[in-house]
Amino acid sequence: MEICYLVMKSLFLFFLLGLAPPPSSVVDDDLGVARRRMVAAIEADVRLTSAQIGRRALDPEVMEAMGQVPRHQFVPERLSRHAYENRPLPIGFGQTISQPYIVALMTDLLAVSPGAKVLEVGTGSGYQAAVLATLGLQVFSIEIIPDLAEIAADRLATLEYPVRTRVADGYFGWPDEAPFDAIIVTAAASHIPLPLVQQLKPGGVMVIPVGGPFTVQQLTLVAKDPAGKASTRQVLPVAFVPLTGDR
């Protein structure tokens, strides 16, 4: 189990002094404080970008989920002391865990209710999938890097998040489980993948960063009307690692 750097340091000092380590409740309280600070930082970013994203606050249930999921469990142990900072962090394999503000915003933009079927393209550390699962969604997550997919699947299972995962090229979605109420893509594509649009239910939405690795990317909301016609809206400039695969 990963614990933050400050807690590890405290335990080491207690050991040297021959004292009993702090009770687990102290550790839990410290992490709880860190998560509350992270949530406050997200709320501040929402207010700063309210004109662009079209809202001054995110869904309270989304913010509650952000305050519940233990982000320190989804980053490398050497970076656990930074887990609740409002910024992306490297997770190996050239990938990152997204900034908490962006995770919260993308989750909020999906605007789905408990029980909805959601496809995530880019499992990464598993953090975004855990947030979605905490909201009571049926989560199907694809990762193209086998080792990263295995680590994330094991972590999600250990933490008891009911997420179905697979190793595949996310550009092509998960046809066997389509259609989906919502799709979330956690890597930047040069264009909106047609297979993902096709796997989106009428009335559904997809959130995806669009743009090249050396250009301005735009977080884009793709919405299908009840007749199945898709429209797009740019929400916010972002910076994501590129979507990889055959396309």
Within a domain: residue 149? yes
How many structural domains does the chain have? 1
CA distance linking residue 125 with residue 128, whole number of Å: 8
* Residue 247 domain flag: no
Q: Is residue 246 part of a domain?
A: no
CA neighbor of 86 nearest in space, from 132, 26, 52, 40: 40
β partners of residue 230: 224
Of 38, 36, 188, which is closest to residue 100 (Cα–Cα)? 38
Could you tell me if 190 and 211 are in contact, meaning their C-beta atoms sit under 8 angstroms apart? yes
Task: Answer yes or no: is 244 within a domain.
Answer: no
Q: Which structural domain range is residue 59 located in?
A: 5-238
Nearest to 210 by CA among 231, 192, 186, 195: 192
Residue 100 lies in a domain: yes
Output DSSP code: residue 116: -
Predicted pLDDT at 245:
75
* CATH code for position 192: 3.40.50.150
184 domain-assigned: yes
Whether the pTM exceeds 0.75: the reply is yes
Q: Which amino acid is at 93?
A: F
Residue pair 228/202 in contact by the 8 Å Cβ criterion = yes
In a domain, 243, yes or no: no
Q: Which residues of the chain have pLDDT under 70?
A: 1-29, 246-247
141 is known as an active-site residue = no
Catalytic residue (one of 24, 80, 98, 231): 98
